[in-house]
Amino acid sequence: MKKILVVDDDPTLRELLQIRLESNGYEVITASDGVHGFAEAKRIHPDLIVLDVSMPAMDGYSLVKELKWHDDLKTIPILILTAKTHTEELFELEGISSFMTKPFNSKDLLSQIERTI
């Protein structure tokens, strides 16, 4: 079973993503900010990280940069979920090319996850 780490500060969105992904056969672990997301990534080594950009404590961009400093974490695929526009270029510099804009369609999200994993 593929493990997905969902890192987002919106508890409702985290819960919805967890329910949707688990119902499609994924094991889901959640974190409410980048600090906890980084700790969970080190602990579980997920197959994919679904990541919000704007979060307290450590934002999505800072988390991506932190992950890239660790050999055992830097190859984990990341799917960015964001309500912000024009952030793709920053993430592409870090090697991230999977993005979805909030709000998103669940079927599109599942398709994007399949392509990213």
Residue 63 and residue 37 in contact, taking contact as beta carbons nearer than 8 Å: yes
pLDDT in tens, 49-68: 999 988 888 888 899 999 99
Q: What is the mean pLDDT of residues 24-32?
A: 97
Separation between Cα atoms, residue 90 and residue 74, nearest integer Å: 16
pLDDT computed for residue 87 by the predictor: 65
Domains recognised in the chain with CATH numbers: 3-116 (3.40.50.2300)
Separation between Cα atoms, residue 94 and residue 43, nearest integer Å: 22
pLDDT computed for residue 105 by the predictor: 86
Residue 56, preceding peptide bond in cis (omega within 30° of 0): no
